């Protein structure tokens, strides 16, 4: 979790420590990094508490909840306690509810995959980079050409 916050979400270790301190002292939350209500965006940590979004990176300032609603819908939880699966937005289709790509630690060691075929987005992007046509790759994996393109867009954005 800590590595993901630092590398994928651009949150410094100092900011994580400050958020942990703030949540322990003012919100009485002992295990913030395991809390389902923890969110991140644009290099900041947030906590969804009592219907309000609290910016832990800014010493508890309230944030706009609507900004996160669509992102929060793309996380699957186990027993409402631990996140188990993430369906990331793809740059080309952020407005659509499609979830063709999933990140799940139980599948492909947590690498992003196209869920219908179980193939990593990296494998698809590698084949595109090698010059193979989209239609041929789609046929090989039983995918639609649009799914192949979304995998490549995801890899390019990551």
- pTM comes to 0.55
CA distance 106 to 147: 22
- What is the chain's pLDDT, residue by residue, as a tens digit (158 residues)? 777 777 777 788 888 888 888 888 888 888 888 888 887 776 778 788 777 778 777 665 555 555 566 677 788 888 767 888 888 877 554 444 578 899 998 888 889 999 899 999 999 999 999 999 999 999 999 999 999 999 999 988 86
User: Which residues, in sequence order, are CB contacts of 44 under 8 Å at separation 6+?
Assistant: 11, 15, 55, 56, 57, 58
Strand 101-102 to 113-114 pairing:
antiparallel
Find the length of the chain: 158
**Residue where the block lists tokens 């400050």:** 18
Q: Is residue 122 packed enough to be buried (19+ CB in 10 Å), middle (13-18) or exposed (0-12)?
A: middle
Q: Where in the chain is the domain with CATH 1.10.10.10?
A: 85-157
Q: Are 121 and 101 in contact (CB under 8 A)?
A: yes
Task: Report the C-alpha gap between 156 and 10 in whole angstroms.
Answer: 18
- SS3 call for 30: coil
**Local structure of 150: helix, strand or coil:** helix
Q: CATH 1.10.10.10: does it fit domain 85-157? A: yes
């Amino acid at each position: 979790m800590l590595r993901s916050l630092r590398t994928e979400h651009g949150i410094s270790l100092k900011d994580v420590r400050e958020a942990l301190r703030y949540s322990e002292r003012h919100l009485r939350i002992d295990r913030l990094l395991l809390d389902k209500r923890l969110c991140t965006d644009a290099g900041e940590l947030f906590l969804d508490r009592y219907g309000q979004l609290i910016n832990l990176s800014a010493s508890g300032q309230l944030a706009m909840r609507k900004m996160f609603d669509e992102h929060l819908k793309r996380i699957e939880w186990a027993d409402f306690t631990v996140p188990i699966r993430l369906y990331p937005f793809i740059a080309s289709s952020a407005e659509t509810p499609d979830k063709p790509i999933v990140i799940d630690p139980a599948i492909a060691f947590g690498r992003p995959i196209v869920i219908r075929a179980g193939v990593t987005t990296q494998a698809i992007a590698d084949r595109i980079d090698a010059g193979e046509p989209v239609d041929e790759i789609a046929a090989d994996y039983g995918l639609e050409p649009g799914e192949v393109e979304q995998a490549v867009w995801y890899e390019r954005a990551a």
